Amino acid sequence: MKKLLAALLAVCFCGLAGCAKKAEYKVELYAMDTVMTLSAYGGQDAKNALADAAAEIMRLDNLFSASRADGEISRLNAAEGAAVEVSQDTAQVIAAAKAYTQLTDGAFDITIYPLVNAWGFVSKNYTVPDEKTVASLLRTTGANNIDLSGQTVVLKKGAQIGLGAIAKGYASDRVAELLRGSGLKSALVVLGGNVYAIGAHTDGSPWRIGIADPLDSVHSAAMLTVVDAAVVTSGGYHRYFVQDGVTYQHILDPRTGRPADNGLISVTIVSPSGTQADALSTALYVMGEKKALAYHKANPNFDYILITDDYRILVSAGLEDAFTLINTEYELCVID
Ligand code: AMP
Ligand code: MG
């Protein structure tokens, strides 16, 4: 309740160019564990649409939260094998998550949640779990622990899910749908590391999105121009802790139950689908360079920017014209 109140209080409107015909309106809110900014150009219609979009995000946050007792995911996680009726949104995200688990050969897996919890990434009381705990929790992971039929979900006893790697992408799709449905032609939806660009700037120039530099918290590593697309970045640098000189980051490899450590330090996916971009940014991070490139060859319906731990930036050919390298310490490789 306190959190919801804080989120509501943080919603504020700023008409940035009040008397111009197409003012820029901005809404800021805190939801899904991150700061979000929604901006749109237009008149009163833009202002109203942004208010609706903020309300929609809060509604989804309530449904998808695994820590809020009245959320649907919390109810599912507490059901101990019983069937739970969920909303259409929750059923849709779970269906998408299951599909991506299959497509990515298990690299993306929402049933990894008990391990995310065991490492302290939920409570932020970070700890390295012992091998026995990891092995025991891994026994109830895998998409076969989720049975989804229409809007009825059964999680096998012991299994729990967390939507942290896909919820913001799904929310960005819903918000984009809502804003476009309100007739808006120019808007930018920034949900933490999940960005959704609607149309272009009002003068027709594309949106410019900075790609964060995992090695420099102030400057961007690169700049990307986009029109009508989601741009989603996963990176270990977003959340991690250090114990005995070892860094442990929050994206887990479902095969080991331990932080993924496969040579990538940042993965950005560009796609018209925020849900796809969110699921794949997490999955390709887990896969590492070789498997990620092979995945793209087999499923070329998106673009990527991969940053490796040996200072290379791999960019899919579809982004070549849109991409500008800023930190020239990285070696740029465009991949056909
Ligand atoms: P993202 O920032 O979208 O890559 O999501 C990372 C978050 O998703 C983590 O903080 C965990 O809550 C959860 N997570 C970690 N590893 C995985 C994984 N392999 N598949 C699905 N969710 C994960
Ligand atoms: Mg993700």
Q: What is the pLDDT of residues 260-269, one digit of tens each?
A: 999 999 999 9
Q: Which tokens belong to 314?
A: 């791999």
> Are 77 and 71 a contacting pair, CB within 8 Å?
no
Does residue 20 surpass a pLDDT of 60? no
Residue 174's pLDDT is 98
pLDDT band at 68 (very low <50, low <70, confident <90, very high): confident
CATH architecture of 72-155: Orthogonal Bundle (1.10)
User: Is 254 near ligand 1, meaning CB less than 6 Å away?
Assistant: yes
Residue 9's pLDDT is 36
- The residues of the chain that CATH labels 1.10.3980.10 are 72-155
For the full predicted model, state whether its pTM sits above 0.75: yes
Q: Rounded to the nearest whole angstrom, what is the distance from the C-alpha of residue 303 to the centroid of ligand 1?
A: 20
Residue 307 vs residues 64, 70, 101, 298: alpha-carbon distances, Å: 30, 39, 23, 21
Q: Which tokens belong to 207?
A: 């949106």
pLDDT band at 42 (very low <50, low <70, confident <90, very high): confident
Identify which ligand lies nearest to the alpha carbon of 117. 1
Q: Rounded to the nearest whole angstrom, what is the distance from the C-alpha of residue 42 to the centroid of ligand 1?
A: 35
Does residue 169 surpass a pLDDT of 70? yes
Does residue 4 surpass a pLDDT of 80? no
Residue 6's pLDDT is 40
- The residues of the chain that CATH labels 3.10.520.10 are 2-61+169-335
Q: How far is CA 119 from the centre of its chain?
A: 20
Does residue 11 surpass a pLDDT of 50? no
- 3 state DSSP class of 95: helix
pLDDT band at 29 (very low <50, low <70, confident <90, very high): very high
* Mean pLDDT, residues 184-188 taken together: 95
User: Is 282 near ligand 1, meaning CB less than 6 Å away?
Assistant: yes
- For CA atoms 242, 216, 188, 11, give the dihedral sign: positive
Taking domain 2-61+169-335, whether its CATH number is 3.10.520.10 is answered by yes
User: Is 164 near ligand 1, meaning CB less than 6 Å away?
Assistant: yes
Report the chain's terminal Cα–Cα distance, integer Å: 50
pLDDT band at 192 (very low <50, low <70, confident <90, very high): very high
* Mean pLDDT, residues 210-230 taken together: 96
For 303, phi then psi, to 5°, come to -120, 160
The pLDDT tens digits of the residues spanning 259-307 come to 999 999 999 999 999 999 999 999 999 999 999 999 999 999 999 999 9
Lowest mean pLDDT among 18-32, 125-139, 143-157, 309-323: 18-32
User: Is 252 near ligand 1, meaning CB less than 6 Å away?
Assistant: yes
Residue 98 CB partners (closer than 8 Å, separation 6+) = 143, 146, 148
Atom of ligand 1 nearest to the CA of 252: 16
pLDDT band at 55 (very low <50, low <70, confident <90, very high): very high
Q: Which of 296, 235, 295 is nearest to 267 (CA)?
A: 235
> Are 189 and 195 a contacting pair, CB within 8 Å?
yes
Residue 48's pLDDT is 95
In DSSP terms, which residues pair with 216 in a beta bridge?
A: 213
Residue 21's pLDDT is 56
Distance CA 79, CA 138 (A): 19
Distance CA 85, CA 226 (A): 39
For 292, phi then psi, to 5°, come to -65, -45
* Mean pLDDT, residues 238-263 taken together: 97
Distance CA 270, CA 281 (A): 9
Q: Rounded to the nearest whole angstrom, what is the distance from the C-alpha of residue 24 to the centroid of ligand 1?
A: 33
> Are 251 and 244 a contacting pair, CB within 8 Å?
no
